[in-house]
Amino acid sequence: MTIDGTPEEVARLLQLYGGGSTASTAAAVKTPKQKTSIKKVSGARAKSESNPTQGNGIDLNEIINLIKNCDEAEEIESAILDKVGQVNRILLPLFVAHQHLEHDQGLTTGEISQITKDLGIPIHVANVSNTLTKTAAKYVMGDKVRKKGQPVHYKLSRRGVKYMEDILKGKTDD
């Protein structure tokens, strides 16, 4: 949380919300025109650790539970999780989100990596990113052009949905 304002404004806010007396706050402030900034870092970190819902409103635990408990759970386990295919494992969270969830946000590489880690088949974020931009590029769509430090939300394309359905039915060209 960041509070910007004059020392008097900050002191008034602190007094209203139990942050101490105005005398102690005023003593800490040197000039009346100086802007003061208060940052609360621990609250933001605690929120991200305790809440599995990411910034785009997708509950990662819901996707993990759907993978483990949906109607196709046995097919998913035998066709994807028990085999050594990184592309299929990376496309799995996108497929489940597409089939079972009512959202159109897509998933970032970090979210996909977290889901695979929680499923017991960890794939590092860099590997997810490389796979989505190279090997699996024909199966996914990004919401924007890739730039360093900017998250891209990936969704399955029609071709990707068909590919995953064929994998689950056992129709592969491997």
Q: What is the pLDDT of residue 19?
A: 60
Domain that residue 114 falls in: 60-169
- Is residue 40 within 8 Å of residue 47, measured between CB atoms? no
The verdict on 65 and 139 lying in the same domain is yes
The reply to whether 55 falls in a domain is no
Residues of the chain by 3-state class (helix, strand, coil), percent to 5: 55, 10, 35
Spatial separation of the C-alpha atoms in residues 25 and 173, rounded to whole Å = 71
Q: How confident is the model at residue 102 (pLDDT cuts 50, 70, 90)?
A: confident
In a domain, 101, yes or no: yes
Claim to verify: residue 127 and residue 68 sit in the same structural domain: yes
Calculate the average pLDDT of the chain.
Answer: 78
Residue bearing the bigger pLDDT, 59 or 131: 131
Whether 8 has a pLDDT exceeding 70, the answer reads: yes
pLDDT band at residue 56 under the 50/70/90 scheme: low
The arithmetic mean of pLDDT across residues 128-148, rounded, is: 91
Q: How confident is the model at residue 149 (pLDDT cuts 50, 70, 90)?
A: confident
3-state secondary structure of 174: coil
Same structural domain, 83 and 15:
no
Q: How many structural domains comprise the chain? A: 2
Question: Whole-angstrom Cα distance, residue 66 to residue 100?
Answer: 8
